[in-house]
Amino acid sequence: MARDYYALLGVSKGASDSEIKRAYRKLARELHPDVNPDQQAQARFQEISVAYEVLSDPEKRRIVDLGGDPLESAGAPGNGFGGFGGLGDVFEAFFGGGSTSRGPVGRVRPGADSLLRMRLDLEECATGVTKQVTVDTAVLCDLCQGRGTHGKSTPTTCDTCGGRGEIQTVQRSLLGQVMTSRPCPVCGGVGEVILDPCNRCGGDGRVRARREISVKIPAGVGDGMRVRLAAQGEVGPGGGPAGDLYVEVHEQQHDTFVRDGDDLHCTISVPMVDAALGTSVAVDAILDGPIEVTIAAGTQPGSVTTLRGRGMPHLRSGVRGDLHAHIDVVVPSRLDHDDIELLRKLKEHRTRDTAEVRSTQSGSTGGGLFNRLRETFTGR
C-alpha cells in the first residue's frame, strides 16, 4: 500500500505548494534533532522530510496523486531511504544550516565574539576617547596551552563512536528502516576523548579570566555604533583562535544639545526686547568652548540660526556638522508698574501693530504655529 505523504505533513490532497512548504517548515522546527533529541521525533523528522521531498517535486507528486509511490520504484523495498542522500539538502534549503553531522568535528574551534557596552557622553563622542575596560572572556589555558591534556598525556580515540564523532541508529518507522545519526554524546562529536585532562581547564583548553584592555573610541562615534577589536573576544574550545570583541557605544543625553547625525541642535531663549533690538548670546559649544551667537534685531520666534562647522566631527572624514540654534522668544509674564508704563508708551508709538487673524498653514512664515508643530514632529 502506498504511503500517505499528505497525512504525514498533515495537509489535504489539494494543498498548494506553499501550504506544503509551510506545513513541513512547522513540523521540522519541532522535530529537528538539534531541537528535539527524542528518538521518536527523529524518526518523525525523517518521515516528514521524505514526504516533503516527494510532494515538493511535481513529478513525484503526480505519481502519488495517481495512487502510486515514487519511492517504491526508485529504491529497493524495505530500504526506503537507500537513495536518499538528499535529506540534508532538503533541510538545508530551508534552514540554511547543516542538519546532518558528517564525520568528527575538530577539537580546536574558533571562539565566539563578545559584546561590551560603553556609556559615553556627547563630549567623548566628539573628541574620541581611550578607556580602560574590564572584559570577562575565555582565554587560553596557560597550563596546557590549549591542548586540554594533563602533562604529556594525549587524547585517545573515543570508544563509543570509534572516532567517527557520530552515532548512527537504525529504527523501524512508517516508512521502513530509518537511519539517523547524531553527534556522539561521549566525545561531543570530536571523535577523541581526554582521559587525563588538564587540572586547570578540565580539558577545554581555555579558562575564564578578567582582564583590562584599552579601547580606543574614534571621534564622531554615535549611539549604537560598534567598535571592533579583532581577536579580543572568546578563545575557542581547544585554544582555538579568539573571536572579536565589539564595544557598543551608548551615547548619554546631553543637557543642552540634541544630536542629529553630525549636526547638533539647541534652543536659545531670548527675551522679547533682545529679540527686537538684537543681541548676542554665548553658547558653550562642544569642542569649541563658548562661541557668540548673534541674534539679529527683529529675530522671530522659531527662527533658526545655523553655525556652520560647529557640530560633531564626521566619523570618517572628520568634517564637522553644523550647530543649529533654535530661537525661542520669551514674552515677560510678570510686569511691574514701570514695565507696563514703558510698554504702553511703545504701543502708543507703534500704531501700525495690530492683531491679525489668518490661516494657520498659509501664514506660516517664520515662527507660525504650524511650522513649530512640524518642527516638533520631524525633530528639527
Residues that bind Zn ion (CB under 5 A): 141, 143-144, 158, 160-161, 184, 186-187, 198, 200-201
CB of 207 to Zn ion, least distance (A): 7
Alpha carbons within 13 A on the beta-carbon side of 360: 6
CB of 50 to Zn ion, least distance (A): 28
Supply the DSSP symbol for 238: G
d(CA 368, CA 365): 6
Is the CA virtual torsion 127, 131, 137, 143 positive or negative? positive
Angle, CA 108 vertex, CA 135 and CA 159 arms, to 5°: 130
Residue with cell 506545513: 23
182 vs 314, beta carbon nearer Zn ion: 182
Supply the DSSP symbol for 106: P
CB of 238 to Zn ion, least distance (A): 10
64 vs 141, beta carbon nearer Zn ion: 141
CB of 203 to Zn ion, least distance (A): 7
Residue 70 near residue 64, CB atoms below 8 Å: yes
183 vs 367, beta carbon nearer Zn ion: 183
191 vs 233, beta carbon nearer Zn ion: 191
Cell numbers at residue 228, please? Answer: 571592533
208 vs 344, beta carbon nearer Zn ion: 208
22 vs 200, beta carbon nearer Zn ion: 200
d(CA 88, CA 99): 6
Residue with cell 509551510: 22
CB of 198 to Zn ion, least distance (A): 3
CB of 37 to Zn ion, least distance (A): 16
User: Exposed, middle or buried: residue 324 (CB in 10 Å: 0-12, 13-18, 19+)?
Assistant: buried
